[in-house]
Amino acid sequence: MGKINCIGILTSGGDAPGMNAAIRAITRAGIAAGLKVKGIYRGYEGLINKEIKDFTTENVSNIIQRGGTILKTARSKEFMTPEGRKKAYDNMVEQGIDALIVIGGNGSLAGARIFAEEFDVPCIGLPGTIDNDLNGTDTTIGYDTTLNTIVECVDKIRDTATSHERIFFIEVMGRDAGFLAQNGAIASGAEAAIIPEDSTNADQLEQFISRGIRKSKSSSMVIVSESPKCGAMYYADRVKNEYPEFDVRVSILGHLQRGGSPSASDRILASRLGVGAIRALQEGQRNVMIGIRNDEVVYVPFCNAIKSDKPIKKELIDVLGILSI
C-alpha cells in the first residue's frame, strides 16, 4: 500500500454518545492534512453495499453536540464472512479509499483487525463504546456520558424508593463488563453493585442484605450489570423469595443509556482521538487503536485492545463497600 490520499470513516456496533464528535474530528483533521475524506454509512454493511459519500467540513458541522451517529451503524453479519470482506475490499479500491478509520467497540475493532490482515489495508480504530471494555485506553467514547445518564436515573429512582422504603435492583448495560455498574453505583451512592468481574456475587447479595437493610436504611439501590441469566430480575426474585419482608422492585434502564448529547469529557476525548487517528496515519501507523492513557495519546495494537480482560480496580470495589455502610 503506497501513499494515503483518501480515508474512509465508519461507525460500527452499538452507537455511543461522542461518535459524531469523533467523525467531525477525523474529517476536519483529515482535510487539514490534505486528505480526501469519505463517510461510509451503516458500518461495514455500507462498505459492502457502497453507501459511501464524499465528506467536506460542512458535512460535520453542528454535530459535536449530537448523540448517536450521523453515519448510522450496524452489526454486519456479511462482513464476518471472507466473501463479505472481499466485497468490502473491492469497493474500497474502486472508491479510491486507501485507509479505513473505524469507530466502534470490541467486535468492530476485531473486524478491522481481520480485514487489515487479509488485505493489507491500513486500518485505525477509535474506541467507541459505552461499555469501556477496550484495553489500553483509560476510557472509551460514550462511557462518561452513559455513566452520567445512569446517575441521573438512579437519583430519580431513589426519590420514589425512599418514599416507599423499597429495595431497587437497577440493571445497566455493559455487555460483559461491569464498569458502568461499579462506577454508576459509586457515583449515585448506591448500596451495592453486582458485576461480572466479581465472582462472589451471591455472597455480595447476602452481605448487602445484612449490612444495608438491617441498618434500617429507608431505601436501597443495587446496580446490577446486565446478564442473560443473573440480571436484576434474578436478584430481585431471590430477595422476594428469601426475604419476603422487603418490598422489591426492578428497573431496567435499557437503551436510554446509549442516547443523549455527549458530555464535555466525551467530546474532548473524541476530538483528541480523531486528531490522533490522522496523526497516526501520517506517522505510518496501521492496525492500531488510538487510546488515551494517563492523559497521553497512545497507539494500541488491535490484538491488545480487543482482549476482553480489561480489569476493574479492586480499589473501586473497596470504595463502594466502605461508603455504603
Piece in contact with ligand F6P (CB under 6 A), picked from 63-71, 123-131, 152-160, 286-294? 123-131
Piece in contact with ligand F6P (CB under 6 A), picked from 90-98, 125-133, 285-293, 317-325? 125-133
- 98 is an active site residue: no
Considering the rule CB under 6 A, would residue 191 count as an interface residue with ligand F6P?
Answer: no
Piece in contact with ligand F6P (CB under 6 A), picked from 27-35, 82-90, 160-168, 169-177? 169-177
Binding to ligand F6P, residues 137-166 (CB under 6 A): none
Q: How far is the CB of 175 from ligand F6P (least distance, A)?
A: 4
CA distance 177 to 196: 7
- The burial class, CB within 10 Å (0-12 / 13-18 / 19+), for 264 is exposed
Considering the rule CB under 6 A, would residue 113 count as an interface residue with ligand F6P?
Answer: no
Closer to ligand F6P by Cβ: residue 173 or 275: 173
Considering the rule CB under 6 A, would residue 258 count as an interface residue with ligand F6P?
Answer: yes
Are 187 and 151 a contacting pair, CB within 8 Å? yes
Piece in contact with ligand F6P (CB under 6 A), picked from 87-95, 124-132, 270-278, 308-316? 124-132
Catalytic residue among 131, 133, 144, 266: 131
Choose which of 38, 85, 175, 286 interacts with ligand F6P (CB under 6 A). Answer: 175
Choose which of 8, 17, 105, 136 interacts with ligand F6P (CB under 6 A). Answer: 105
Closer to ligand F6P by Cβ: residue 30 or 136: 136
Are 291 and 300 a contacting pair, CB within 8 Å? yes
Considering the rule CB under 6 A, would residue 173 count as an interface residue with ligand F6P?
Answer: yes
Binding to ligand F6P, residues 212-251 (CB under 6 A): 226
Considering the rule CB under 6 A, would residue 14 count as an interface residue with ligand F6P?
Answer: yes
Vertex 201: Cα angle to 198 and 207 (nearest 5):
115
Q: Which residue from 150, 153, 179 is spatially nearest to 308, judged by alpha carbons?
A: 179
Distances in Å between the Cα of 16 and the Cα atoms of 223, 260, 317 are: 21, 9, 26
Closer to ligand F6P by Cβ: residue 52 or 312: 312
Residue count of the chain: 325
Closer to ligand F6P by Cβ: residue 42 or 175: 175
Choose which of 22, 37, 113, 131 interacts with ligand F6P (CB under 6 A). Answer: 131
**Which residues lie near ligand F6P (CB under 6 A)?**
14, 105, 129-131, 173-175, 226, 258
Residues with catalytic annotation? 131
